[in-house]
Structures are given as structure tokens and as C-alpha cells.
Amino acid sequence: MTPLHTLGRAARREWGPLWTAVRAALVTERLRAVPMTLAAVCLTALLQVVQNRSWGYGPVQALGAVRAEDPLPAALLRTPLSLFVPALDLPVWGALAQVLLVFGIAEICLGRWRTLLIAYVATLAGTLYARIGVAVGPDGFLGLPGTDAQVVDTGPSAAVVALAVCVCCAYRARFTGALVVAVMVVEIVVKDNLAGKEHLAAIAVALVLCAVPALRGRRRQGLGEGAGTRSGAPPIRS
């Protein structure tokens, strides 16, 4: 078997089930398969346009920019919209492409409400980590410098990273999932900033969210096997 055939088999094993699920949904339903994703892309683009206007920057910051120095109630109220506020110092097309691709795949493979839940929880994890890290200080474990309290949270990127990891876990694309985690670790090594650390916090939460259903499934399987053998006792033979 040639290296090309080996690579093809590995690719089919890694991405085959995921590709089949996404392709089937898009072929049968087309854009109706990803209405939430399309709304998210439009909202992200709209917020980018508005925040780059002199009259729009203040309202977008007041409604969707989260910083560790903000009062916790205000930060929690802003967190849902902060999912869709792109970073001002990065090209918006990158954020739009990430949301379209990753949110779209997740909406098809995980379901609309589960996708939104993971995205929100991952973003919230980054927000809370920043707050705790600043409180701990730069000398503490996983602590952050006080200046990070004034840095705006990551926007959609933390949600994108968490969703990518959850999709990989759900479809057993282990290499791809490990690659996503590795890239985020390299990001921290190369550019040690708040965004990269919030991405790692989002990944940690995503792994927990993936582990819980798996553990429940194993527990139910164990209980089922136990029930079939009278609480684990060997079956009586006549």
C-alpha cells in the first residue's frame, strides 16, 4: 500500500463520519441546516460595522465588551452579545470565516441549542478565568497581571475553539482535536496574552462538557450489565 493510500485511509477514518454528516445536511436542507450560524455571521458583521463608526463604538462596548475590571453582574449581562463582537485589532473576515465554518459544522453535528450552550459556557469560562487570574495576581498559579483587567475578552474565538474540540470529540476526530489544543498551547508560548489563556480555559470547559456524557454512557452501560446479571452476580446455571 502506497503512502498516498495510507494517508487517504487515515483521512477517511479521521474526517469521514464528520464529512458525511455535514454533507448530508447541506444536500438535503441547504442553508436551512444552519439558520443560527447565518444569524451569528450577520450579527458579527453588523457589530463590526457599527463599532467602527464614531457613533457606534460606545454602544457596542457598553453592550458587548467584557473586561475583568467590570462589575460581575454587568459582565454576565454583556457576555451573550460579546460572543459576536469581533476584536478591533484583527481582520473581521477571519472572525466571520471561523463563525461560519465552526458554528455551521457544530450546528449540524451537535444541534442548535447544544452549540449555543457550549459557545456561551466557553465564553463565560474565559471571562471568569480572567477575573480570577487578575485577582490571584501574576505571582500566583495561573495568575494574570493587573493590566489584563482592562483587556476586552476574546469575542467569538473562545467559543469557536471550544466548539471545534467538542465536534472532534463527538465524531472521534482525535488527531484534529489534539491539533486544535496544540495550536492553542503554541499560541500561549509564542504570544503570551489574555486571549490565548482564555482559549485554554474554553478548551478545558469543552473537554469537561465532552467527558460528562461519555461518563454517563459508561455508567448506564455498567448498570445495564449489572441488571442483566442480577446486580453483578454470575447467572445461575441449571
**pLDDT tens digits for 146-179?**
899 999 888 899 999 999 999 999 999 999 999 9
d(CA 167, CA 177): 8
Q: What is the mean pLDDT of residues 125-137?
A: 92
Share of the chain above pLDDT 70, in %: 88
* pLDDT score at 231: 44
Average pLDDT, rounded, for the chain: 87
Predicted TM-score (pTM) of the model is 0.87
Smallest Cα–Cα separation from 67: which of 155, 181, 8, 196? 155
* pLDDT score at 211: 86
* pLDDT score at 234: 46
* pLDDT score at 230: 47
159 in Cβ contact with 118 (< 8 Å): yes
* pLDDT score at 8: 79
Smallest Cα–Cα separation from 92: which of 45, 56, 59? 45
> What SS3 state is found at 161?
helix
* pLDDT score at 90: 79
d(CA 54, CA 14): 47
Confidence of residue 219 (pLDDT cuts 50, 70, 90): low
Confidence of residue 9 (pLDDT cuts 50, 70, 90): confident
Q: Which three cell numbers stand for residue 54?
A: 464614531
Q: Terminus-to-terminus CA distance in the chain, angstroms?
A: 53
Indicate if the pLDDT at residue 218 is higher than 70.
no
Write down how long the chain is.
238
